[in-house]
Structure 1
Amino acid sequence: MRNILYYKGYTQYHNIGDQLINRSLLDYFRKFSKVIVSTGGMPLFYTDALALEAEERSSAYAGNFHMQLLLRALTAVFQKDTRIYFLASPPGDQSTYSFLAGCKYFLSGGLYLLLYLLGVRIIKIGFSIGPLGRMAKAGERFRALFIRHYYVRDSISLRFVQTMGIKQAKLFPDLCWSYQPTTYPQNMDIPSAESPKIMLSFRDGVHSEHPTETYQDSLVSLLSQFVHAHQEQYRFQVSFQVASDATFSEFLYTHIKSFAPVSFMTEQIDLADAFQYQSASLVLTNRLHVALLAAKFGCLPVIVTDIGRHVKIKGIFQDAGLHPLLLDTQQAPTDNLTRLAGILTNRQVYLAKIQQAEKTYAQLSTNIMNHIFSS
């Protein structure tokens, strides 16, 4: 059986986490299918990050991406040895209260219906979902009718879509769990006289629908207390993995510098130099893929955020049995300081738990992929 998968890969190109999970998903798909990615309008650095071959780029063929998909699906109706797959949307986070976005869900559902009638197997995989406004919920329910393989990446999202009536939904682990870095420097030379390092990598809010001022105040207050409590034992460094975090990172650096020694990594960390994380014992962050990518290099991630509102991270860490690494800015600072001290003491124990989760999820992901392309 010949499999051809059309991959609609538009995303936040400067978000290294999105680069990471899209690259991981493509690496899986390539094992089972020929892949064609919608490269029209994509920046070159992003297509390079995905390691796309010439024949994997939609720009190598006549017509736009959707026309290529429709014509190939129509042809495959008469070819019993060919299956056409369509990745409905890239992995990541889906949440909106926008009425207009909900209308767009219905429009895309019309395309899904047409593809469904042509026998295309539609996939939606590796994403968190919610909250959604009323129109968006209705639109998502409609287009899910035509999605053959619907996989969310955490149990909170699973319960959310099941209550919406999307009964075929199942779990697929976040794609960062099974990502394997390419070659990188081993055992970076760190002067023995220096204290171990803790990195700070933060966005300025949970998501766009919530005001950030109150969130930032509680976050910065707690981080300040962390630095105060541990500045004698650890060095601190502010870094950022997403370009849009640069402004808040500089603010955080300036704030901490006013009362404690701290350095600032002015260049964005990308996949090519993510090995920078191995120079740190710990990273405090409110970004999921900072946490999971840093762990690949032996840097223990600790989430510091409003856990009640940061549902995506909460669900993924709880599912992996890593809830002790979630520190809530809405809890008493003294409780969080005590918990952080315990995490630092048991760092190797938690790293071992992460490594076990990676192995378990990698096997589960492979099993699911085998199911998708055999059914």
Structure 2
Amino acid sequence: MHAKTQFDNVGDALIVGQAVALMSEHMNVVLSAKGIPAHFSEQIRESTKAPYSELDSGKAEIFLALALRRMHGLRSFYSLIPGGINGEKSTGSYLSGIVYNLALRIMSLFGIVTVQMGVSYDKLGVRHQKLVRGRARALSYHFVRDSQTDEYCRERGITHSGVAPDLAFLIFPDASEKASGRRLAFSFRTDRGGRALIEKIGRMIAASFAADTDIVLVSQVARDTPGMLELQEFLSSLGMKCDFEDVTYSLDAASKVYSTCSVIYSNRLHALLLAASNGVAPCPVISAQVDRKISGIFLDLGNCISIELDSWNGTPLPQPGLEYARAFQKSALMMKSRIKDVTREIFH
């Protein structure tokens, strides 16, 4: 697996680490760390206790090594990383993607099994759709992570093997966890909404909770930090006090903060799931226009609380309790079981 992704997002390190852990149950795993910053490699190690090797090799070296293994009659697999995919490709990225798709097809001719699990698609541009269609046809196994993505792919002729939930569900403990704290966590991506979104979230918080409520604002992605600090300043102007925690450097640090909370409100998928794995009740606060990857997963879980951000009219936010958090954990374990079933289908 080549781990090149967004390096400022501990959520990406979380799911890459869980992909490594999942595959290591069935084979020896080699992770290509070429071009990967040291802090991200460390976050991947935090995500999994499973054994794996890390090499400073790029895609070309990986492809060659896998081809040599096949020439010696050894079973070999190549895994693409999981995650959300959207937007358009530049002309250069499109041409590079065509070469990558060709390489995947050549690997299949050698008998190398190519896999992608836990992926979602939304708002793909014309060139990007063409690339994804070609990539999907080249892959041996291609599992999307929610039913909305399944429908999106069917409408656009993107072939896939079925639905396998987000790999973050693998971190949920088999026995229900109970969060030890009473704080309310808020973690938001604000770069797409700017100051207007920050102030709307602030008004939502002020309309829902007393000024002395124990609130923590969490930045789990580096580019969220400026927005969370602006939100802290705005809440202060409304007479509310809140803490700020930057956990962009460590999954362990994020889990430690979430373990002091009872509820998390967020439009970040892996903030919601990481907090929930620590016994926190997750409440997505999302826009139907831009947060389909979150709504799709929570719809598949069923009976989940979700707040529609665009249509919020001053109604106080819900405050789910321990019973809801435990029910969510049970649903998450069903997702975890589904991922394990799909993995056995692929590797046996």
Q: TM-score, normalised by structure 2?
A: 0.89
Moved more, 10-19 or 221-230: 221-230
2:295 alignment partner in structure 1: 314
Matched, 1:76 2:56: no
1:35 alignment partner in structure 2: 29
Matched, 1:275 2:272: no
1:329 alignment partner in structure 2: 309
Give, in angstroms, the shift of residue 265 of structure 1: 2.2
**d(CA) in 2 for partners of 1:294, 1:34:** 30
- Name the aligned partner's letter for residue 157 of structure 1: T
- Asked whether the equivalents of residues 212 and 240 of structure 2 are also in contact (C-alpha less than 8 Å), the reply is no
Helix, strand or coil: the match of 1:333? coil
- Name the aligned partner's letter for residue 185 of structure 2: M
Pairs within 5 Å for 1:67-146: 67-79=61-73, 82-88=74-80, 90-100=81-91, 101-146=93-138
Q: Tell me how many residue pairs correspond in the alignment.
A: 339
- Asked whether the equivalents of residues 118 and 144 of structure 2 are also in contact (C-alpha less than 8 Å), the reply is yes
Helix, strand or coil: the match of 1:66? helix
2:54 alignment partner in structure 1: 57
Quick one: structure 1 residues 168 and 307, their matched pair in 2 at CA, closer, same or farther if it must change by over 3 Å? closer
- Asked whether the equivalents of residues 122 and 148 of structure 1 are also in contact (C-alpha less than 8 Å), the reply is yes
Give, in angstroms, the shift of residue 219 of structure 1: 5.4
- Asked whether the equivalents of residues 238 and 262 of structure 1 are also in contact (C-alpha less than 8 Å), the reply is no
Moved more, 241-250 or 50-59: 50-59
**d(CA) in 2 for partners of 1:347, 1:201:** 19
Matched, 1:203 2:189: yes
- Asked whether the equivalents of residues 70 and 115 of structure 1 are also in contact (C-alpha less than 8 Å), the reply is no
1:239 alignment partner in structure 2: 218
Quick one: structure 1 residues 331 and 226, their matched pair in 2 at CA, closer, same or farther if it must change by over 3 Å? same
Give, in angstroms, the shift of residue 197 of structure 1: 2.1
Q: 1:157 aligns with which of 124, 127, 149?
A: 149
Q: TM-score, normalised by structure 1?
A: 0.83
- Cα deviation code 1:158-188 (max 9, x no counterpart): 111122223333111111111157xxx9975
Over the matched positions of the two proteins, sequence identity in percent amounts to 21
Give, in angstroms, the shift of residue 359 of structure 1: 1.5
- Cα deviation code 1:224-263 (max 9, x no counterpart): 1332331157222212111111111111100111112222
Give, in angstroms, the shift of residue 218 of structure 1: 4.5
Give, in angstroms, the shift of residue 143 of structure 1: 2.1
- Name the aligned partner's letter for residue 13 of structure 1: F
1:24 alignment partner in structure 2: 18
- Asked whether the equivalents of residues 87 and 128 of structure 2 are also in contact (C-alpha less than 8 Å), the reply is yes
- Asked whether the equivalents of residues 218 and 330 of structure 1 are also in contact (C-alpha less than 8 Å), the reply is no
2:6 alignment partner in structure 1: 12
Quick one: structure 1 residues 73 and 241, their matched pair in 2 at CA, closer, same or farther if it must change by over 3 Å? same
List alignment gaps of at least 5 residues for structure 1.
1-6, 191-195, 207-211
Q: Give the structure with higher Rg (CA).
A: 1
Q: 2:208 aligns with which of 229, 241, 246?
A: 229
- Asked whether the equivalents of residues 165 and 339 of structure 2 are also in contact (C-alpha less than 8 Å), the reply is yes
Quick one: structure 1 residues 333 and 226, their matched pair in 2 at CA, closer, same or farther if it must change by over 3 Å? farther
- Name the aligned partner's letter for residue 214 of structure 2: R
1:263 alignment partner in structure 2: 242
Give, in angstroms, the shift of residue 371 of structure 1: 0.6
2:330 alignment partner in structure 1: 356
1:3 alignment partner in structure 2: none
Helix, strand or coil: the match of 2:123? strand
Give, in angstroms, the shift of residue 322 of structure 1: 4.3
Q: 1:367 aligns with which of 329, 332, 341?
A: 341
Give, in angstroms, the shift of residue 139 of structure 1: 1.5
- Cα deviation code 1:21-72 (max 9, x no counterpart): 111111111010111111112222322332399971223xxx6442243243
- Name the aligned partner's letter for residue 239 of structure 1: V
Supply the RMSD in Å over aligned alpha carbons. 2.4
Give, in angstroms, the shift of residue 123 of structure 1: 0.5
**d(CA) in 2 for partners of 1:32, 1:356:** 25
**d(CA) in 2 for partners of 1:15, 1:218:** 21
Q: Tell which has more relative contact order, 1 or 2 (C-alpha 8 A, sep 6+).
A: 2
Q: 1:173 aligns with which of 162, 165, 181?
A: 165
- Cα deviation code 1:279-298 (max 9, x no counterpart): 12211111001101111222
Helix, strand or coil: the match of 1:128? strand
**d(CA) in 1 for partners of 2:52, 2:294:** 36
- Asked whether the equivalents of residues 219 and 305 of structure 1 are also in contact (C-alpha less than 8 Å), the reply is no
